[in-house]
Structure 1
Amino acid sequence: MSVGEPADAFATRAGAEPRNYLQGCVLLLLRERPAHGYELLERLKAFGLADGDSGNLYRRLRTLEEQGMVRSEWETSEAGPRRRMYHLTASGDARLRRWADSLAETRRLLDYYLGRHALIADSPARAAAASGPRT
């Protein structure tokens, strides 16, 4: 953006995730199987998350536990120190299902938008025709 040029209200960074994306991903991963924090960090990489900010994940896990969506327990290990194992609760599972439904609706709306955009994006003549007659 050059000096004096207004900010683009639609500008987004590539790969911007939906609101509460980390929460939804954590709930999904715990739905698949209980896990400790380090394992969750590793598995979150596939979602484009966990770029080394373990503090953000642990704060989110603590919040999810306070909200009753996740429970944790200390697990002892012969190979190392104790670690906290996280499990999804029934409340967390219900939230996960609602979030997935919401994402599906958002995807439907985005597909509709992108389909309409594709019809006019590659043709300036089509774009002019779609906007109607000029007076």
Structure 2
Amino acid sequence: MKKFLFNITLLFSAKLLAELPPYVYEELQKNAPELLLIKINSVETNVSLFTETRVNVVAEVLEVRRSKSGLKKNDRITIVYTTFTSRPRGWVGPSPVPLLEKDKTYSAFLRKSEEVNIYMPAAKGKSFQ
């Protein structure tokens, strides 16, 4: 019985970490509440266990394409997310959110946190282009 439960758990876990098909990312982008053109002012990273990196970004809004939260041009926003800087060989999973670079410009698909005044990627690994 224990072996059966272990195998079921393993199968379920693998499904959760499988790469998403392109149409899923497109749908996430389409439904993102915020679509902005941003310039990165600062990037702070904090590497934790298992090569997981917490990223804090301060960005300036250069252009608003849509904004459910009411953002305007020249607003400064904080974006927080977690990404993996490296994965073990053979790892399968959704595209990781890229590590953004200071002074670069990105189209950003975001959503605003309901608890605090931060933004998070809305389209997983395809949230910044």
**TM-score, normalization by structure 2:** 0.23
Q: Which protein is bigger by CA-based radius of gyration?
A: 1
Higher share of residues assigned strand: 2
**TM-score, normalization by structure 1:** 0.22
Greater relative contact order (Cα < 8 A, sep 6+): 2
